[in-house]
Chain A
Amino acid sequence: MPEQKPWDETTGSGAISGAGAGGGMDLAMDEGTTLEKTPGGPEGTGPAGKPRSLWSDAWRDLRRNPVFIISSLVILFLVIISIWPSLIADQDPLDCDLSKAQEGSQPGHPFGFDGQGCDVYTRTVYGARTSVTVGVLSTLGVSLLGGVLGGLAGFFGRGWDAVLSRITDVFFGIPVVLGGLVFLSVVTSSTVWPVIGFIVLLGWPQIARIARGSVITAKQNDYVQAARALGASNSRMMLRHIMPNAIAPVIVVATIALGTYISLEATLSYLGVGLKPPAVSWGIDISAASQYVRNAPHMLLWPAGALAVTVLAFIMLGDAVRDALDPKLR
């Protein structure tokens, strides 16, 4: 292992896992070691590559994997009801009748009512949009920002690397509640953007470290050295040779992190700094319901169940993709 420091490019959960909502996944290290041994087609040219590429292998694998199929269907369903919640819920989630507060299931209201007398079923359906949006967009943001910065640090090394690594250290040191109270208490917007922005801000170092690690590993592969010897430009090497081989761990960790971001939104709401009313989300409902669990467990059961199933679906998807991308497990 010439001049390589595997210990430095692999790190733990850090800030985001702080509140215990779910840790930053830290599969970086085993991804890293896995990738080293990944043959990855000699001219791995990304998704549109030739038949025997890493990607087509993985895809062939996935199509036959029941875990992948089930989790994809669940996610597809979630995406559909996020876009058109009225398909399966015909009431308004903000229509509340206090006289029915905490009442259980009754005709037309299969899941009962919450503490404000709102319909739990409708709120659970409408909550999907917010929660899935927070999860997906935060993950995209984190992956882009973290992936690019981490990748650059890994590719250029030296000064870039030192600065970036120290910045990530700084961010890992910030307790999530402090960050949440500071960044989220000053905003008044009731949209999901502040929460997404906050997650991206505290989440990117995690992906950055993983991206950095896998770029360093990929950089040392013979074919990259060969390309460099042949005089390939930096950008060509990055885009054609390194990125396709280094992106897998990022994708995998990101799908897992997605689930934890959704439950992080719940924790932020529990602490009173999550989404602002009149937003409807699982996090808001779970945190409100957790206080009433003795009298009206149904209030907690449904949104928490929906959250658990969603997180589960994304983690299982990530798991399936991960396995498919690891040729040794075939």
Chain B
Amino acid sequence: MGRYVIRRLLQMIPVFFGTTLLIFLMVNVMGDPIAGLCGDRQCDPATAAQLRTEFGLDKPVWQQYLTYMGNIFTGDFGTAFNGQKVTELMATAFPITIRLTIVAIVFEIVIGISLGVVTGLRRGRPVDTVVLILTLVVIAVPTFVTGLLLQLLLGVEWGIIKPSVSSEAPVDELIVPGLVLASVSLAYVTRLTRTSIAENARADYVRTAVAKGLPRRRVVVRHLLRNSLIPVVTFIGTDVGALMGGAIVTERIFNIHGVGYQLYQGILRQNSQTVVGFVTVLVLVFLAANLIVDLLYAVLDPRIRYA
């Protein structure tokens, strides 16, 4: 197990460098960020040149990358164009996004798995069909449509929620955005659980448990569910990374100043320091989540051993 974890951690190193390099190149390909700093007019050439030197943009890309990576290891993630330290931006953005992600994942777990168990056990019955169609509709409609509609209905027409989230972003204000963010994944979790439950419901150990006379509840929770959770856990685990970085649309609609917002701003302003910094952290989160998921397998299924 220890060796396995070490090997995985070592494998993260090339992935880390590959991703940061790729992102760095991508932001650079987008062109000269200085041109956007002077509004609808041209920056005067002297100031533009001076700014380029200050942000290190006058050097070749490989050199910029090396300098940047060197700085990262000393904890310096650079400065955004508005003069703010990227680490400061992270300190405000990540707590908000982590809260939003937790809300979304709680929805996925609670609603997704419950619906999955119910439909899995009642495969082919009306309740199954209804949930199936509902989840398909959720998958089929783009998030920005669901988000805008919910905001309009709940926020303006019925006045149940505030249409936007305040800058502190307390959890109660994040419930609806969290639901919107979770909606697509929610549908997947439901379907995954359903398939998995339906498959395992016929397994020998479940029959044995039933034959032993265990209460139905105990059979479902202890035996059936636990063994059916592996695919679901994988999905949710890898979804953590996707949710955190992928909330751009949701955060934009509900005016949440989290990671998605900062990334979007950074991308629009072509601020490589912000973008690479945030993506770097996201990649680390993604890799860590993957590792944790793999380790969780052993908990859920003792038959799995780590080579």
Using a CB–CB cutoff of 8 Å, the interface residues on chain A facing chain B are 1, 3, 5-8, 10-15, 17-23, 25-27, 29-30, 33-34, 162, 166-167, 169-170, 172-179, 181-182, 185-186, 259-260, 263, 266-267, 270-271, 286-287, 290, 293-294, 300, 304, 307-312, 315-316, 328-329
B152 lies within 8 A of chain A by Cβ? yes
Q: Are B145 and A169 in contact (CB under 8 A)?
A: no
Q: Are A166 and B18 in contact (CB under 8 A)?
A: yes
Q: Are B188 and A13 in contact (CB under 8 A)?
A: yes
Partner of A12, one of B184, B198, B239: B239
Give complex CA distance A20, B147 in Å: 11
| Known A13-B238, A174-B19, A260-B139; contact A22-B282, beta-carbon cutoff 8 A | no
Shortest CB distance A290–B (Å): 5
Query: CB-CB < 8 A to A177: which residues of B?
Result: 248, 263-264, 267
Q: Are B148 and A290 in contact (CB under 8 A)?
A: yes
Shortest CB distance B234–A (Å): 5
Shortest CB distance A227–B (Å): 26
Query: CB-CB < 8 A to B139: which residues of A?
Result: 22, 259-260, 311, 315
Query: CB-CB < 8 A to B250: which residues of A?
Result: 20
List CB contacts (< 8 Å) of B4-55 with chain A: 11, 14-15, 18-19, 22-23, 26-27, 29-30
Closest 5 CB pairs of A and B: A12-B238, A18-B246, A20-B143, A311-B140, A29-B231
Query: CB-CB < 8 A to B181: which residues of A?
Result: 20
Show 13 residue pairs from A and B whose CB-CB distance is below 8 angstroms, ordered by the A residue: A8-B294, A12-B234, A12-B235, A12-B239, A20-B249, A30-B192, A166-B14, A176-B246, A267-B142, A270-B249, A293-B148, A294-B152, A308-B140
Using a CB–CB cutoff of 8 Å, the interface residues on chain B facing chain A are 11, 14-15, 18-19, 22-23, 26-27, 29-30, 136-137, 139-145, 148-149, 152, 180-181, 183-185, 188, 191-192, 195-196, 198-199, 202, 230-231, 234-239, 241-242, 245-250, 263-264, 267, 275, 279, 282-283, 286-287, 290, 293-294, 297, 303-305, 307
Give complex CA distance A170, B26 in Å: 13
Partner of A169, one of B15, B30, B247: B15
Q: Are B239 and A304 in contact (CB under 8 A)?
A: no
| Known A266-B142, A267-B142, A287-B144; contact A7-B294, beta-carbon cutoff 8 A | yes
Give complex CA distance A26, B187 in Å: 11
Give complex CA distance A270, B142 in Å: 10
Shortest CB distance B186–A (Å): 10
| Known A5-B307, A174-B22; contact A18-B267, beta-carbon cutoff 8 A | no
Q: Are A267 and B26 in contact (CB under 8 A)?
A: no
Q: Are A267 and B234 in contact (CB under 8 A)?
A: no
Q: Are A172 and B140 in contact (CB under 8 A)?
A: no
Q: Are A21 and B145 in contact (CB under 8 A)?
A: no
Residue on B nearest A182 in the bound complex, by CB: B26
| Known A26-B234, A29-B230, A175-B263; contact A166-B15, beta-carbon cutoff 8 A | yes
Q: Are A167 and B238 in contact (CB under 8 A)?
A: no
Query: CB-CB < 8 A to B303: which residues of A?
Result: 1
13 extra A-B contacts, CB within 8 A, seeds A7-B304, A310-B140:
A3-B307, A10-B231, A18-B246, A21-B184, A23-B185, A26-B188, A166-B18, A173-B279, A259-B140, A266-B142, A293-B148, A328-B199, A329-B198
Q: Are B202 and A328 in contact (CB under 8 A)?
A: yes
Q: Are B249 and A286 in contact (CB under 8 A)?
A: no
Residue on B nearest A262 in the bound complex, by CB: B140
Shortest CB distance A213–B (Å): 11
Query: CB-CB < 8 A to B246: which residues of A?
Result: 17-20, 175-176
Most buried by A among B11, B191, B231, B305: B231
Shortest CB distance B282–A (Å): 7
Give complex CA distance A271, B275 in Å: 17
Give complex CA distance A308, B135 in Å: 12
| Known A173-B15, A259-B140; contact A19-B185, beta-carbon cutoff 8 A | no
Q: Are A13 and B27 in contact (CB under 8 A)?
A: no
Give complex CA distance A98, B152 in Å: 27
Query: CB-CB < 8 A to A308: which residues of B?
Result: 137, 140-141
Q: Are B275 and A12 in contact (CB under 8 A)?
A: no
Give complex CA distance A30, B195 in Å: 8
Give complex CA distance A5, B303 in Å: 12
Q: Are B248 and A170 in contact (CB under 8 A)?
A: no
Query: CB-CB < 8 A to B29: which residues of A?
Result: 182, 186
Shortest CB distance B54–A (Å): 24
Q: Are A312 and B231 in contact (CB under 8 A)?
A: no
Shortest CB distance A78–B (Å): 14
Q: Are A174 and B188 in contact (CB under 8 A)?
A: no
Give complex CA distance A271, B141 in Å: 16
Residue on B nearest A291 in the bound complex, by CB: B148
Shortest CB distance A187–B (Å): 12
Partner of A173, one of B230, B286, B304: B286
Q: Are A267 and B249 in contact (CB under 8 A)?
A: yes
Query: CB-CB < 8 A to B247: which residues of A?
Result: 20
Shortest CB distance A209–B (Å): 10
Q: Are A169 and B287 in contact (CB under 8 A)?
A: yes
